[in-house]
Structure 1
Amino acid sequence: MKLWKPLAVMISALSLWSCGSPQVLDVRPLHIREVGLGDSDDPMIRGEIKRRFHGAISMAEQGDRLGYTYTVLWNEASTSDAGQIVFEFQQASTGSRVKKMIQPISAGETSGRAEFAILGNDYRKGGRVLAWRCSLVRGGREIASRHSYLWQ
Protein backbone atom coordinates (compact mmCIF):
# COMPACT_ATOMS: atom_id res chain seq x y z
CA MET A 1 0.00 0.00 0.00
CA LYS A 2 2.93 2.35 0.64
CA LEU A 3 4.32 1.84 -2.89
CA TRP A 4 1.67 3.88 -4.69
CA LYS A 5 3.40 7.26 -4.07
CA PRO A 6 6.79 6.26 -5.57
CA LEU A 7 4.98 4.48 -8.37
CA ALA A 8 2.94 7.59 -9.17
CA VAL A 9 6.09 9.74 -9.19
CA MET A 10 7.87 7.27 -11.48
CA ILE A 11 4.96 7.07 -13.94
CA SER A 12 4.63 10.86 -14.14
CA ALA A 13 8.41 11.23 -14.66
CA LEU A 14 8.37 8.65 -17.45
CA SER A 15 5.44 10.32 -19.16
CA LEU A 16 7.20 13.69 -19.13
CA TRP A 17 10.41 12.12 -20.40
CA SER A 18 8.64 10.54 -23.37
CA CYS A 19 7.06 13.83 -24.50
CA GLY A 20 10.08 14.91 -26.54
CA SER A 21 9.42 16.16 -30.04
CA PRO A 22 9.74 13.42 -32.70
CA GLN A 23 12.39 13.70 -35.37
CA VAL A 24 11.02 14.94 -38.69
CA LEU A 25 13.79 13.46 -40.85
CA ASP A 26 16.04 10.49 -40.07
CA VAL A 27 18.73 9.21 -42.45
CA ARG A 28 20.18 5.72 -41.99
CA PRO A 29 23.23 4.99 -44.17
CA LEU A 30 24.50 1.53 -45.08
CA HIS A 31 27.76 0.91 -46.92
CA ILE A 32 28.41 -2.57 -48.32
CA ARG A 33 32.03 -2.78 -49.45
CA GLU A 34 32.48 -6.46 -50.17
CA VAL A 35 30.48 -9.55 -50.99
CA GLY A 36 29.72 -11.53 -47.85
CA LEU A 37 28.66 -10.67 -44.34
CA GLY A 38 31.85 -8.94 -43.30
CA ASP A 39 33.17 -8.77 -39.75
CA SER A 40 30.26 -6.94 -38.16
CA ASP A 41 29.29 -8.09 -34.68
CA ASP A 42 25.95 -6.30 -34.90
CA PRO A 43 23.21 -8.80 -35.84
CA MET A 44 21.02 -6.01 -37.28
CA ILE A 45 23.71 -5.02 -39.78
CA ARG A 46 24.38 -8.66 -40.71
CA GLY A 47 20.64 -9.18 -41.25
CA GLU A 48 20.37 -6.09 -43.42
CA ILE A 49 23.32 -7.17 -45.56
CA LYS A 50 21.79 -10.64 -45.97
CA ARG A 51 18.52 -9.03 -47.02
CA ARG A 52 20.28 -6.84 -49.60
CA PHE A 53 22.10 -9.83 -51.13
CA HIS A 54 19.06 -12.11 -51.16
CA GLY A 55 18.53 -13.53 -54.64
CA ALA A 56 21.92 -12.48 -56.01
CA ILE A 57 23.42 -15.75 -57.22
CA SER A 58 26.30 -14.92 -59.54
CA MET A 59 29.30 -12.80 -58.61
CA ALA A 60 28.16 -10.16 -61.12
CA GLU A 61 24.76 -9.89 -59.43
CA GLN A 62 26.40 -9.65 -56.02
CA GLY A 63 28.83 -7.02 -57.31
CA ASP A 64 25.90 -4.93 -58.53
CA ARG A 65 24.64 -4.72 -54.94
CA LEU A 66 27.84 -3.22 -53.53
CA GLY A 67 27.75 0.45 -52.64
CA TYR A 68 25.80 2.89 -50.50
CA THR A 69 22.15 2.79 -49.52
CA TYR A 70 20.48 5.59 -47.58
CA THR A 71 17.12 4.90 -45.97
CA VAL A 72 15.24 8.10 -45.15
CA LEU A 73 12.36 8.04 -42.68
CA TRP A 74 10.22 11.16 -42.48
CA ASN A 75 7.31 12.16 -40.29
CA GLU A 76 5.85 15.61 -40.80
CA ALA A 77 2.18 16.48 -40.38
CA SER A 78 2.24 20.29 -40.27
CA THR A 79 1.23 20.65 -43.92
CA SER A 80 -0.53 18.42 -46.43
CA ASP A 81 1.02 19.91 -49.59
CA ALA A 82 2.78 17.73 -52.12
CA GLY A 83 6.52 17.66 -51.68
CA GLN A 84 9.72 15.78 -52.22
CA ILE A 85 12.70 14.25 -50.48
CA VAL A 86 15.89 15.61 -52.07
CA PHE A 87 19.12 13.65 -51.62
CA GLU A 88 22.33 15.38 -52.74
CA PHE A 89 25.75 13.76 -52.63
CA GLN A 90 29.35 14.02 -53.77
CA GLN A 91 31.49 11.07 -54.83
CA ALA A 92 35.24 10.59 -54.76
CA SER A 93 35.93 10.53 -58.51
CA THR A 94 33.45 13.25 -59.52
CA GLY A 95 35.25 16.03 -57.67
CA SER A 96 33.08 18.84 -56.35
CA ARG A 97 30.12 17.98 -58.61
CA VAL A 98 26.93 17.50 -56.58
CA LYS A 99 24.58 14.78 -57.78
CA LYS A 100 20.92 14.83 -56.85
CA MET A 101 18.16 12.23 -56.43
CA ILE A 102 14.52 13.17 -55.81
CA GLN A 103 11.67 11.10 -54.35
CA PRO A 104 8.23 12.74 -54.72
CA ILE A 105 5.71 12.87 -51.87
CA SER A 106 2.04 13.02 -52.73
CA ALA A 107 -0.29 15.49 -51.02
CA GLY A 108 -1.74 14.21 -47.78
CA GLU A 109 1.14 11.87 -46.87
CA THR A 110 2.33 12.65 -43.35
CA SER A 111 5.03 10.00 -42.96
CA GLY A 112 6.95 7.56 -45.07
CA ARG A 113 10.16 5.94 -46.13
CA ALA A 114 12.40 6.57 -49.12
CA GLU A 115 15.54 4.79 -50.26
CA PHE A 116 18.41 6.28 -52.21
CA ALA A 117 21.03 3.89 -53.56
CA ILE A 118 24.39 4.41 -55.19
CA LEU A 119 25.08 0.84 -56.26
CA GLY A 120 26.70 -1.21 -58.98
CA ASN A 121 28.12 0.74 -61.88
CA ASP A 122 27.41 4.15 -60.28
CA TYR A 123 29.42 3.07 -57.25
CA ARG A 124 32.26 1.52 -59.28
CA LYS A 125 32.66 4.55 -61.57
CA GLY A 126 31.92 7.33 -59.08
CA GLY A 127 33.67 5.88 -56.06
CA ARG A 128 32.72 6.23 -52.46
CA VAL A 129 30.30 8.87 -51.23
CA LEU A 130 32.26 11.63 -49.51
CA ALA A 131 29.43 13.87 -48.34
CA TRP A 132 25.62 13.92 -48.49
CA ARG A 133 22.65 16.08 -47.62
CA CYS A 134 18.98 15.07 -47.41
CA SER A 135 16.09 17.57 -47.33
CA LEU A 136 12.33 17.39 -46.94
CA VAL A 137 10.71 20.05 -49.13
CA ARG A 138 6.97 20.83 -49.10
CA GLY A 139 5.18 23.69 -50.77
CA GLY A 140 8.45 25.08 -52.12
CA ARG A 141 10.08 25.47 -48.70
CA GLU A 142 12.52 23.28 -46.83
CA ILE A 143 10.92 21.70 -43.76
CA ALA A 144 13.88 19.70 -42.43
CA SER A 145 17.32 18.56 -43.49
CA ARG A 146 20.13 16.30 -42.36
CA HIS A 147 23.67 16.17 -43.68
CA SER A 148 26.93 14.33 -43.20
CA TYR A 149 29.84 15.79 -41.31
CA LEU A 150 31.76 16.72 -44.46
CA TRP A 151 28.86 18.46 -46.27
CA GLN A 152 29.60 22.14 -46.97
Structure 2
Amino acid sequence: MKLWKPLAVMISALSLWSCGSPQTLDVRPLHIREVGKGDTDDPMVRGERQRRFHGAIGVGEQGDRLGYTYTVLWNDDSSSDSGEIVFEFQQGATGSRVKKMVHQIATGETSGRAEFAILGDDYRKGGRVLAWRCSLVRGGREVASRHSYLWQ
Protein backbone atom coordinates (compact mmCIF):
# COMPACT_ATOMS: atom_id res chain seq x y z
CA MET A 1 0.00 0.00 0.00
CA LYS A 2 2.94 2.34 0.64
CA LEU A 3 4.32 1.82 -2.87
CA TRP A 4 1.67 3.85 -4.67
CA LYS A 5 3.28 7.26 -3.89
CA PRO A 6 6.77 6.41 -5.25
CA LEU A 7 5.14 4.68 -8.21
CA ALA A 8 3.04 7.77 -8.98
CA VAL A 9 6.12 10.01 -8.78
CA MET A 10 8.09 7.67 -11.04
CA ILE A 11 5.30 7.51 -13.67
CA SER A 12 5.01 11.30 -13.63
CA ALA A 13 8.75 11.75 -14.06
CA LEU A 14 8.90 9.24 -16.91
CA SER A 15 6.00 10.87 -18.73
CA LEU A 16 7.63 14.31 -18.48
CA TRP A 17 11.00 12.92 -19.55
CA SER A 18 9.51 11.30 -22.67
CA CYS A 19 8.02 14.64 -23.79
CA GLY A 20 11.36 16.10 -24.84
CA SER A 21 11.58 18.98 -27.26
CA PRO A 22 11.79 18.11 -30.97
CA GLN A 23 15.15 18.21 -32.71
CA THR A 24 16.16 21.58 -34.09
CA LEU A 25 17.80 20.01 -37.15
CA ASP A 26 17.15 16.57 -38.65
CA VAL A 27 18.94 15.31 -41.77
CA ARG A 28 17.53 12.36 -43.73
CA PRO A 29 19.86 11.02 -46.43
CA LEU A 30 18.81 8.94 -49.45
CA HIS A 31 21.25 7.33 -51.88
CA ILE A 32 19.95 5.89 -55.15
CA ARG A 33 22.75 3.99 -56.90
CA GLU A 34 21.03 2.14 -59.71
CA VAL A 35 18.01 2.42 -61.96
CA GLY A 36 16.76 -1.14 -61.27
CA LYS A 37 13.74 -1.82 -59.10
CA GLY A 38 15.38 -3.25 -55.99
CA ASP A 39 12.45 -5.51 -55.02
CA THR A 40 14.09 -6.58 -51.76
CA ASP A 41 14.13 -3.02 -50.36
CA ASP A 42 12.06 -1.78 -47.49
CA PRO A 43 8.58 -0.66 -48.71
CA MET A 44 9.22 2.92 -47.57
CA VAL A 45 12.49 3.06 -49.51
CA ARG A 46 10.82 1.49 -52.55
CA GLY A 47 8.08 4.12 -52.43
CA GLU A 48 10.62 6.94 -52.19
CA ARG A 49 12.53 5.51 -55.17
CA GLN A 50 9.32 5.38 -57.20
CA ARG A 51 8.54 8.98 -56.27
CA ARG A 52 12.02 10.12 -57.31
CA PHE A 53 11.87 8.29 -60.65
CA HIS A 54 8.29 9.33 -61.46
CA GLY A 55 8.12 10.92 -64.89
CA ALA A 56 11.56 9.76 -66.03
CA ILE A 57 10.83 8.03 -69.33
CA GLY A 58 14.16 6.90 -70.75
CA VAL A 59 17.23 5.37 -69.18
CA GLY A 60 19.05 8.69 -69.65
CA GLU A 61 16.45 10.59 -67.63
CA GLN A 62 16.51 7.90 -64.96
CA GLY A 63 20.32 8.10 -64.85
CA ASP A 64 20.07 11.84 -64.22
CA ARG A 65 18.13 11.07 -61.04
CA LEU A 66 20.78 8.80 -59.55
CA GLY A 67 22.77 10.16 -56.64
CA TYR A 68 22.28 11.56 -53.16
CA THR A 69 19.36 13.52 -51.77
CA TYR A 70 19.40 15.02 -48.28
CA THR A 71 16.11 16.17 -46.79
CA VAL A 72 16.63 18.60 -43.91
CA LEU A 73 13.82 19.28 -41.44
CA TRP A 74 14.38 22.23 -39.13
CA ASN A 75 12.46 23.65 -36.19
CA ASP A 76 13.80 26.72 -34.39
CA ASP A 77 11.41 28.61 -32.11
CA SER A 78 14.22 30.54 -30.44
CA SER A 79 14.48 33.17 -33.19
CA SER A 80 12.43 34.56 -36.07
CA ASP A 81 15.36 36.29 -37.81
CA SER A 82 16.19 35.45 -41.38
CA GLY A 83 18.81 32.78 -41.79
CA GLU A 84 20.06 29.95 -43.88
CA ILE A 85 20.66 26.24 -43.90
CA VAL A 86 24.19 25.49 -45.07
CA PHE A 87 24.96 22.04 -46.47
CA GLU A 88 28.65 21.24 -46.98
CA PHE A 89 29.95 18.01 -48.47
CA GLN A 90 33.00 16.25 -49.88
CA GLN A 91 32.92 13.85 -52.81
CA GLY A 92 35.27 11.01 -53.72
CA ALA A 93 36.62 12.47 -56.99
CA THR A 94 37.10 16.03 -55.73
CA GLY A 95 39.67 15.25 -53.05
CA SER A 96 39.53 17.38 -49.94
CA ARG A 97 37.56 20.19 -51.63
CA VAL A 98 34.43 21.12 -49.68
CA LYS A 99 31.38 22.05 -51.75
CA LYS A 100 28.57 24.11 -50.28
CA MET A 101 24.82 24.52 -50.93
CA VAL A 102 22.67 27.12 -49.15
CA HIS A 103 18.91 27.36 -48.56
CA GLN A 104 17.64 30.78 -47.43
CA ILE A 105 15.14 31.06 -44.55
CA ALA A 106 12.76 34.02 -44.61
CA THR A 107 12.17 36.20 -41.58
CA GLY A 108 9.41 34.80 -39.38
CA GLU A 109 9.78 31.16 -40.43
CA THR A 110 10.29 28.93 -37.42
CA SER A 111 10.18 25.53 -39.12
CA GLY A 112 10.42 24.05 -42.55
CA ARG A 113 11.99 21.62 -44.95
CA ALA A 114 14.89 21.96 -47.38
CA GLU A 115 16.24 19.48 -49.88
CA PHE A 116 19.81 19.24 -51.15
CA ALA A 117 20.57 16.98 -54.11
CA ILE A 118 23.78 15.77 -55.69
CA LEU A 119 22.39 14.14 -58.83
CA GLY A 120 23.18 13.56 -62.49
CA ASP A 121 26.50 14.96 -63.73
CA ASP A 122 27.47 16.23 -60.27
CA TYR A 123 27.15 12.67 -58.97
CA ARG A 124 28.78 10.98 -61.99
CA LYS A 125 31.77 13.36 -62.16
CA GLY A 126 32.26 14.06 -58.46
CA GLY A 127 31.63 10.53 -57.22
CA ARG A 128 29.94 9.44 -54.07
CA VAL A 129 29.52 11.73 -51.09
CA LEU A 130 32.09 10.77 -48.46
CA ALA A 131 31.25 13.25 -45.71
CA TRP A 132 28.69 15.99 -45.09
CA ARG A 133 27.77 18.67 -42.57
CA CYS A 134 24.52 20.61 -42.27
CA SER A 135 24.08 23.68 -40.08
CA LEU A 136 21.28 26.11 -39.28
CA VAL A 137 22.52 29.70 -39.10
CA ARG A 138 20.34 32.52 -37.75
CA GLY A 139 21.45 36.11 -37.24
CA GLY A 140 25.05 35.24 -38.07
CA ARG A 141 25.38 32.52 -35.43
CA GLU A 142 25.12 28.76 -35.73
CA VAL A 143 22.01 27.48 -33.96
CA ALA A 144 22.30 23.76 -34.70
CA SER A 145 24.50 21.39 -36.64
CA ARG A 146 24.55 17.77 -37.78
CA HIS A 147 27.30 15.93 -39.60
CA SER A 148 28.20 12.50 -40.92
CA TYR A 149 30.58 10.18 -39.14
CA LEU A 150 33.51 10.99 -41.45
CA TRP A 151 33.18 14.79 -41.32
CA GLN A 152 36.26 16.46 -39.83
Output the TM-score relative to the length of structure 1: 0.90
> Could you tell me how far 1:38 is from its partner in structure 2?
1.8
Q: Identical aligned pairs, as a percentage?
A: 82
Higher mean displacement: 17-26 or 91-100: 17-26
For residues 14 and 96 of structure 2, the distance between their equivalents in structure 1, rounded to whole angstroms, comes to 47
> Could you tell me how far 1:26 is from its partner in structure 2?
0.3
Task: Indicate the SS of the match to 1:19.
Answer: coil
| Pair 1:40–1:17, CA change in 2 (3 A) | farther
**1:118 aligned onto 2:127:** no
**1:95 aligned onto 2:91:** no
> Could you tell me how far 1:15 is from its partner in structure 2?
3.2
Q: How does 1:1-152 map to 2 (within 5 A)?
A: 9=8, 12=12, 15-152=15-152
> 4+ residue runs of structure 1 moved beyond 3 angstroms?
8-15
In the alignment, structure 1 segments of 5+ residues that lack a partner are none
| Letter aligned with residue 99 of structure 1 | K
Task: Indicate the SS of the match to 1:55.
Answer: coil
| Pair 1:125–1:43, CA change in 2 (3 A) | same
Q: Number of residues paired by the alignment?
A: 147
For residues 142 and 29 of structure 1, the distance between their equivalents in structure 2, rounded to whole angstroms, comes to 21
| Letter aligned with residue 47 of structure 2 | G
RMSD (Å), alpha carbons = 1.9
> Could you tell me how far 1:39 is from its partner in structure 2?
4.9
Task: Indicate the SS of the match to 1:51.
Answer: helix
Task: Indicate the SS of the match to 1:145.
Answer: strand
Output the TM-score relative to the length of structure 2: 0.90
In the alignment, structure 2 segments of 5+ residues that lack a partner are none
| Letter aligned with residue 140 of structure 1 | G
| Pair 1:77–1:125, CA change in 2 (3 A) | same
